[in-house]
């Protein structure tokens, strides 16, 4: 699957992109996971938040993640709302999505790590990307989660 990647701030999103990313997030996190929760938390419109969109040739959003500055969700930069459409799963799109999200966080906030709150069933996926578990499993909206940390060092110039 060919995906074009767009890294945009909230005010740069078109109405179609905003609708598409919200539709994907609701389809995955609310409907598919049967988990009613408040999807709109105010973090999307923070001036430093980055929205990473994976768009197919027809312009539909196939993958999405939100990259947050330090002190929005965690003391560190963080990546969340990671979602891939059912039709794009199993094709490496999620890996590409996370690699790009990590690169955005490292570039914008070159601290020494990135924090995520991951669903426990995806721990191995995130471990393959270098994240390590740094909490016990906890329930969030009725789904088992755990905190994970990606440690990295910036290059000295």
In sequence order, which residues have a C-beta less than 8 Å from that of residue 104 and are 6 or more positions away? 7, 50, 52, 67
pLDDT in tens, the chain (157 residues): 789 999 999 999 999 999 999 999 999 998 998 888 888 999 999 999 999 999 999 999 999 999 999 999 999 999 999 999 999 999 999 999 999 999 999 999 997 799 999 999 999 999 999 999 999 999 988 899 999 999 986 555 4
Q: What's the rounded Cα separation, in Å, for the pair 122 and 62?
A: 19
What domains sit in the chain, N to C, each tagged with a CATH number? 4-151 (3.40.630.30)
Is 54 within 8 Å of 62 (Cβ atoms)? yes
Handedness of CA 117, 96, 22, 107 (dihedral sign): positive
Q: How far is CA 114 from CA 42, 53, 133, in A?
A: 20, 19, 12
């Amino acid at each position: 699957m060919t995906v074009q990647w767009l890294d945009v701030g909230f005010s740069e999103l078109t109405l179609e992109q905003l609708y598409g990313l919200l539709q994907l997030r609701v389809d995955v996190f609310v409907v598919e996971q049967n988990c009613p929760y408040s999807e709109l938390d105010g973090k999307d419109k923070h001036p430093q938040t980055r929205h990473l969109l994976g768009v197919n040739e027809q312009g539909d959003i196939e993958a999405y993640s939100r990259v947050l500055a330090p002190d929005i969700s965690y003391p560190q930069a963080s990546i969340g709302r990671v979602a891939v459409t059912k039709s794009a799963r199993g094709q490496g799109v999620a890996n590409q999505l996370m690699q790009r999200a990590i690169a955005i966080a490292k570039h914008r906030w070159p601290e020494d790590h990135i924090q995520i709150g991951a669903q426990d069933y995806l721990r191995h996926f995130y471990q393959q990307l270098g994240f390590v578990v740094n909490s016990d499993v906890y329930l969030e909206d009725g789904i088992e989660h755990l905190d994970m940390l990606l440690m990295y060092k910036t290059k000295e110039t």
